[in-house]
Amino acid sequence: MPVSRLFYVTFALGLLAVPAFAAPPPQNACLNKAEQRAAVADKKAIPLAQTIKSRREKGHHAELVRARLCHRGDGLVYMLTLLGRSGRVISETVDAANGEIINGR
């Protein structure tokens, strides 16, 4: 029976080692509602309404469909899904600290 005991010990040690090889959390992990409110309150992000107002002042008149506040690098970004006047779906990434568009299509 020593072989079966050795098997179980090896198996158990293998299971303990699995978390060491787990992937790190994704870089673009998005915040939940409570974390979003905390980020805005701590001035780490401007309010979403201010971001949309800034876009409209620059002549971008698309309807907001979805908005997420996510981590990117050392900061936060708004990942926006917009519906243009032509009916085209637009994805934009906006720096949550200042409202500047990082990229969009």
Whether residue 1 is predicted with pLDDT greater than 90 in this model: the reply is no
DSSP class per residue in 27-40: TTPBP-HHHHHHHH
Rounded CA separation 51/102 (Å): 13
Can you list the domains of the chain with their CATH numbers?
25-104 (3.10.450)
Whether residue 68 is predicted with pLDDT greater than 90 in this model: the reply is yes
Strands 101-104 and 89-95: antiparallel
C-alpha distance across the termini of the chain, in Å? 65
65-75: average pLDDT: 93
What residues pair up with 71 in beta bridges, in sequence order? 76
Task: Give the count of alpha carbons within 13 A of 44, CB side only.
Answer: 16
Rounded CA separation 47/61 (Å): 18
Helices marked H in the chain = 2-17, 33-41, 48-57
- For residue 28, what pLDDT is reported? 67
Reported as a single tens digit per residue, the pLDDT across 9-65 is: 555 555 555 454 555 545 669 999 999 999 999 999 999 999 999 888 888 889 999
